[in-house]
Structures are given as structure tokens and as C-alpha cells.
Amino acid sequence: MSEAVGIETILNSDLSLFQAVKTHARGPEGALPITPEMLVRQPSGNLFGLSQNAGMGWEPGRLNDPEYLILSTHGGVRAADGTPIALGFHTGHWEVGLLVTEAARELRNLRATPFAGACTDPCDGRTQGTHGMMDSLPYRNDAAVVLRRLMRSLPTRRGVLGVATCDKGLPAMMMALASSGAYPSVLIPGGVTLLPENGEDAGKVQTIGARYSQHQITLEYAAEMGCRACASPGGGCQFLGTAATAQAVAEAMGLSLPHTALAPSGQDIWLDAATRSARAMLRMTALGIGTHDVLTDAAIHNAMVVHAAIGGSTNLLLHIPAVAYSAGLRRPTVEDWTHTNRSVPRLVDALPNGPKNFATVQVFLAGGVPEVMLHLRNAGLLDLRVMTASGTTLGENLEWWEHSDRRRILKQRLRDLDGVDAEEVIMSPDRARSAGLTSTVCFPSGNLTPDGSVIKSTSIDPALIDADGVYRHTGPARVFLTEEAAIAAIKQGSIGEGDVMALICSGPKGAGMQEIYQITSALKNLPYCRHVAVITDARFSGVSTGACIGHVSPEALAGGPVGRLRDGDTIEIVIDRKQLHGSVNLVGEGDERFTPEEGAMRLAARSPRPDLAPHPGLPADTRLWAGLVQASGGVWGGCVYDVDAILQKLQG
């Protein structure tokens, strides 16, 4: 390619371009709508802002209309007909510019002045198994900082609309909006992509490499399924992973309008949400409702309840506390999460939790978040008094939803399109119990996880659960210090049935607390590997399934006992899916077996492994992030930057 581009085409231009250069232009017609008082009392920035607004083409007579900011995670460049000119990182931010346009048009029509800015986001699917994953979770904090700075850089704003879709951009946007205080803010979820008519979903298709290496599929099949998986060009993935869960949680918090999470991207019903959200922003302003009136401790509680009821991604255990911290609220603890998941039934059958694995767009048609909240309301599990972005309380929103044409028509649409009864997707507590749905998240402790860990217990293969509802696994440790080494062992077939894969040095200090879906998806799709368990100080994708225990704390590089494991150590894992109790313990060395208490003493007597080290590719930026979040409460504190705690340590 370099030989085909001659140097003359790089250095030389058409000579006519030189003759067309100008140094002056007429400028906009008209005059700024300013008063003597404005000239005397307002800061120069406000006045110069009016000049720039006129220069950008806004009608001078409307320059004093109230100003609102629309922030998005838009990426890529599309032609007017949607044809790609420059690709985005992922479908989740590819179409959100359409939502920005729709919201801006409605603000303009309602005599407001919209501004728009963007801070794009990466794709966790694209960076799986690569060094890019080490920047994934740290990016969230960076983006939240940038978005907050952009908000403050428009001092004349009356409120902020946020548009975001996916795993890190959406939590970052929620964190930014949460800091708005007295200013109103509304989040417009970017929706979901559609299922292919004949193909695999975006979660399963990420396993084509592992399946091909084990001779389960052909090259032709892998190529065809890989091409077809993202059936429409925009939206988050079709499963209830981090992107979809975060959309649902934002709505549950009251930051988004009712029934806007999980809408099919690019469709009219999706665009309609942007129009109505712009109206809601103006309504909040008129009523004097600020973000601090919406985001309260009760709103955080409701979000945790909905997270449990839908069987959401464990990554929200990092993001909900971060949103709470950004809003100046109390951060939920492990005990809070445990109590919530023990008291709230799972009501939604969606990928990847099953049993029937409906897609996110089908969850939307079945009623989405408000349908789930109706059941939770009837069970007395929600605080219905909380204010929402609609300018009404949650209780009032649910009264509307229960009797709405929207609810009735979309449920019928699901039957007509897919032959699916909405009650199969979003169930009452009694029906969910009869269908075998169990609460989602369990927090195992033990001598290898003294500060806690997490497992999505619903995702364990039901065939591995004993009659009493307990998963029990005892096997030899296979210790890996990098994800590359672990996935290579799986693909080469050197992991045996019954093994416990221990991936360490993958927490914040080791590899940015990377997401290891590459490993869990490979295990899911290899027949013998359902009998392999995983423990790690990393985290999991929301689409992960299996006996996978993450967030092991302390991490290996922070002195955690998991950093003292050796190959061949016997590990015992017990997960009670009914009572949501669990343990992860060292119980043997070689042929010797002993109690968990003895295991704790032996681990304490051991020195850390001499080969413990951060990943050699760990960026300096991520090392800094790890140090800051460690000083701020670590993983269970939401991986935030607690400025007071950081400054105290620096000054100490």
C-alpha cells in the first residue's frame, strides 16, 4: 500500500485551492440580545459564549433561550444514509448520535438551546483477551472525569441529558450525571441490537476461536456466524450483560424515563425516548427538580433490588457504589448486597441466565424494567415515594404503566413476532419459583477469600447442582498468572475435568481487574469443561456462565492468600444457591486433607509465590488508577477516586 501512494500526492495540492483562501468573512447578521445589566454583571465568558453561538449559526434572536447540554458516548462517522465512513469501536455507540439529534431537535422546538459534546467509549467485547482489557475498568473513571469537566465547561447550562449504551461509557455517564446536584439530568439509554434471524447471539459468537480449536465447528461455520451475530448496526449486546444491566439499573434509579432501557436501537420507539427525555428535562426545570432529588439512598436501594430481580451482571457491584459515591450518598456494602439478593426473587429469564434465555429486546417487549417493578411493588420490595426523571414518583409511574396501552400493545407484539408470552420472560414470584429461578448473586468467603468474592450462582450448570440446591466441587488448583497462559491451556486441552483454574495477578494491581470472558466462554462451550471451576481476582463479563468466582479479595498482589496457592493444592468450593451462602477454601496439599481452619493457618505460614508480578503489559496509567482506587475503598468501594481518602494518605 505504501508503494502505491506517491510522495507527490502527499506534498502537492490542486493550485486552485491557493487562490480560494480568504482572511475575512461577513459574519452573522443581526445583533446579540444583550442588555446593559448583562454587560455590567455577567462574566466575560457568558458574553463571549453568545458570540460563539452566533458564529456557529444559531439565530441571534434566540441566543437567550435556556441552554441545555447533551453529552453522549458517540463514536464513528456515518453518512446521512447510515453508511459507515469511519467505524466506531462498537455498535453500542455507533447510532447514539441519532438520539442526540432527536433530543436536540425537540429542545430547539421547545425554545431551548441545545449543546452537544461527546466522550466515546471502548468495547469490552473487542478487547477480550487483549492488553486493551487492562484499560477497560480504569477507563470508566477517566470518562466520568471528562464528562464532569465538559458539564462544568458550559456554566450556563440548565441541565444535562446523557446518552450512553455500553459497559463502561454508560456507568461513566451515570457517575457524571449523579454529580449534577441541583441541576436536573436525564439519561437516555442507547438500547440493544437485534438477534439474527438465523445465527448466534453476540455472547456465544465470541467463543468461535475456542470451539474451532477443539474441532467443534468448521471454519466456514465460524466465518458465517461471526458475520451475522450483530444483526442490526446499533445498540448493546443481546444478552443481559453489563450494558443491558446498566441500562436497567439507570431506569430503576429514576435517572431514565419508564420503559426506555433495552429499546431496539435505531427504531422509532427508540428515537421517541429521546424526544420524551428532552421534554422531561424541561419539566424537571419547571418543577425545580434536581438530580439530588432523584438520586437518593432509596433510589440506590431500588436499583439494587431491580438488579437482583433481573439477574444482572456482577459488574454492577462496581458501578452502583460508584454512582452512589458520585451523588454524595452512602456506598452499599457486601452485607447490603447479600441481604438484597437473599430477599429479592429473580423474575427474569434472559440470556445468559436461562432457563429459556430470551434476548434483551424480548425483555423490552415483555415490559422491561417497569414490568419487573410492578411485581416488586406488589411484593413490597420497593420505595415508591422516590422522585424520578419524569417529574413524578415511582409509584405514580407504575400506576401509569399498569394501565397503559404501551404495555398491552408491546406484549401482544411479542406474541405476534416470536410466539412468546410476556409472562414467560418476566414472571411473578410464584411463577419464577415454579420455573426454578433462583436468586442471582452469592458472595463466598473462606480462607482463600477473606475479604469476599462473588459468583453468579444462577449461571452454574443445573446438572452440577445437588438435590439440596448446593454446588460442591473439590479439585486440584491449576494456577495461572496471566490470562494468556490460562486460555492457552484451555485451547490446548491441558485442563482436566475437576480442575480448579486459579487466575491470579489479574486484579486492579495486576492487570487492571480485567474481564475474562474469553476464559469463561471457552469453558462453557467445551463439553468436559463444565466440570472445571474458576477462581480469580479479576472480574467477569455479564454474559459469563459457569462455576466462576471473581473479585477474590484481597487480590494476590495486595497480599491476598490466593497469591500463596500452588499447583496441586486441593480447593473446595461450596455454593448454596437457595440460601446464598458460599465458601472457597484450601483443604489439602498433595494427598493430605485438612479443615478450612487448618488451611487458613497453612496459607498464613506460606510465603507469597515468588513469581507474583503485575502483567508485563500493564500501562502506567492503570497502575496509577489501581493505587488510587486501593486508597478509596478498593473493589468493594466501587473502584472510585475518594478524593478525601487519597489526600489524607498523601499527606499522612
Cβ partners under 8 Å of residue 75, min gap 6: 88, 89, 90, 93, 94, 118, 120, 121
Q: How far apart are CA 266 and CA 58, in angstroms?
A: 28
Cβ partners under 8 Å of residue 107, min gap 6: 68, 70, 113, 114, 278, 281, 282
Q: How far apart are CA 323 and CA 128, in angstroms?
A: 25
Among 256, 357, 260, which Cα is nearest to 303's? 256
* Beta strands per DSSP E along 519-580: 533-536, 548-550, 570-576
- By CB neighbour count within 10 A (0-12 exposed, 13-18 middle, 19+ buried), where does 375 fall? buried
Q: What is the DSSP letter of 589?
A: E
- Select which of 506, 541, 544, 632 is catalytic: 541
Report the SS3 class of residue 284.
helix
Give the count of alpha carbons within 13 A of 502, CB side only: 28
Q: What is the DSSP letter of 19?
A: H
Q: Which three cell numbers stand for residue 54?
A: 452566533
In the chain, % helix, strand, coil (3-state, to 5) comes to 45, 15, 40
Q: For residues 612 and 504, is the Cβ–Cβ distance under 8 A? A: yes
Q: Which three cell numbers stand for residue 300?
A: 440506590
Read off the amino acid at residue 483. E
3-state DSSP of 181-226: CCCCEEEEECCECCCCCCCCCCCHHHHHHHHHHCCCCCHHHHHHHH
Please report, for residues 193, 608, 629, the alpha-carbon distance to residue 599 in angstroms, rounded to integers and kept in the order given. Answer: 48, 15, 30
Q: For residues 219 and 208, is the Cβ–Cβ distance under 8 A? A: no
Is 277 catalytic? The answer is no
Q: Which residues are known to be catalytic?
A: 541
